Amino acid sequence: MVKEKLSANIPSLKSWVEVSENSDFPIQNLPFGVFSTKTKSKRVGVAIGNQILDLANLYELGYLSSLSFCEHCFNNEFLNRMMGHGKIEIRELRNRISELLNISNDELYKDKKHLKLVLDLQSSATMHLPIKIGDYTDFYSSEQHAFNVGSMFRDPNNALLPNWKHIPVAYHGRSSSIIPSGEDVIRPKGQQKQDESENPIFGASKLLDFELEMGFITFEGKPLGEQIFTEEADDFIFGMCLFNDWSARDIQKWEYVPLGPFLAKNFASSMSCWIVTLDALEPFRTSGPVQNPKVLPYLEYKNDKHLNIDLSVSIKIPNGEEKVVTESNYKHMYWNMNQQLAHHSVNGCNINCGDLLASGTISGPQKGSFGSMLEISWRGTQPVSMPDGSERKFINDGDTVIFRGAATNGSYKVGFGELVSKVLPAK
C-alpha cells in the first residue's frame, strides 16, 4: 500500500487565490484537467477557486523542478503521461501544488509576472476530455437501481438475478464515444419493438434517458495474468469524475437479451472534465452496506471503502429554467471501487493507465433519490412536472441534463464541477 503524507488535505489550509465559500475547488481539492485558451494550446491544469493553475507554464518557470516530471507530462492534451508516474509521484505533485498555493507561502505569489503566466480564469478557458481512455467498463452496482429495474421488468419478489449479490455485474462499453461536459448528445436511432405481436421498427429513440453514475480512472495496473487485490486497489486508482451513461431504453429493451446493451449505450457517454484525485476524497470515506450473503474471499475488504458524495441531476428545459429531478449519494453503492477492480482483474485481465470504470446507475433508497428517468417516472407512468408546465417521462430534444456532485465535511467542500449535456434531435 502507498503510504505517503496527505499534507494537501489539512482542513486548515487556505490559499492566496480567492476561493468562494461554496466553491467546488478549495485548496484541499486540486483536481486535474486539460484546458486551452485563445492563447494557449491544450495543456494540464489544476482547478483552484474560479481559476486554473497552468502546470505547463508552472513547470517551464521551474516551480516543479524538485519532482521527477518532464515538460511533456504537462504540455499535453491528455493526463495519461502525467498519470504514468503513478500514485506516489502524483501525490508529491499535488502536495507541491498545495504548497505553492498556500497563503503562508509567497514563493509564487510574490512574482506578479509569473502569476499572469500560470493563472487563467475558468470562464475564459475551454475544458477538454481529460483522459485518453483505453478501455471502459460499466458496472451495475447499486442494489436499489437493480431492484427497481428488476421490479419493473420481472417480479419484485425476484428483482435481483441470482448472481447479483455474489459478483459486481458489469459489461464492456465503448470508449470512443465518451465525450466531455459541454459536448452535445445526438439522439440515437435503432430498432425498437413496441408490441409483442408486431415486427420491430427502426427510428429515433423515444425513451432517451440519463444514468447518474460516477467513474474512476486507473493508473497502470499489473501485467496480464495477475490480479489486483482489494487491499491494494486504492494504489491503482488515480481519481474520479461524474459520469452519465446515456441510455436509449426502447432500443435497449429489444436488444439486451442475450448479450446485454449495445446500440442503446454506445452512442454516447458523458464525463465531467475535472478529475478529483482519490487522495482528495480520503476524508470522505464511509462505511458501506452489509453484504449478505458473505462475499467470496477475493472480494472481502477492510476499513471504509465507500465515499460520501452528494449527487444531483437537473433538467434545464429549452429557453427556460432548470429543475432538480433527483438527489442521491455515491455511498449507496453495494459494491465499492476496490471490489470492482478486484473482480475485474481476478481472471488476469490487465488494467491500463487511463482505463475508465463506471459505477452503474446510483439510486438511493427512496423516491427522490433514483438515478434515472426510467425509475423517476417509473417507466413513464409518473411524469415529472417542469417549470413551464410541461412534463417529462424521459429526455426531450433541446433539454440540457446537468449533473453536480460534491463531498462536504463541515470544514470544506470537494466538488467535481458540473457535467452538462444538451440533447439534439436525431440526424
Catalytic residue numbers read 145
Grid cell, residue 49, equals 477557486
**Radius of gyration of the chain from its Cα atoms, rounded to whole angstroms:** 22
Task: Compute CA distances 388 → 316, 321, 358, whole Å.
Answer: 11, 8, 34
Distance (Å, whole) CA 189 – CA 264: 9
Burial of 232 (0-12, 13-18, 19+ CB in 10 A): middle
Give the Å distances, CA to CA, from 426 to 203, 247, 401. 9, 14, 17
Cα–Cα distance list, 46 to 76, 167, 371 (Å): 14, 36, 29
Q: Report the C-alpha gap between 363 and 63 in whole angstroms.
A: 44
Closest among 180, 262, 246 to 209, alpha carbons compared: 246
Side chain identity, residue 169: V
Number of C-beta neighbours around residue 296 at 10 A: 11
Residues facing 74 on adjacent strands: none
Rounded to an integer, what is the distance from CA 109 to the centroid of its chain? 32
Contact 313, 403 (CB under 8 A): yes
Which of these, 344, 350, 218, 210, lies nearest to 275 by C-alpha position?
218
Name the grid cell of 425. 434531435
- Inter-residue contact 244 to 272 (CB < 8 Å): no
CB contact set of 325 (below 8 Å; sequence gap of 6+): 313, 314, 315, 373, 376, 384, 392
CB 417 within 8 A of CB 181: yes
- Residue 301 C-alpha cell reads as 475488504
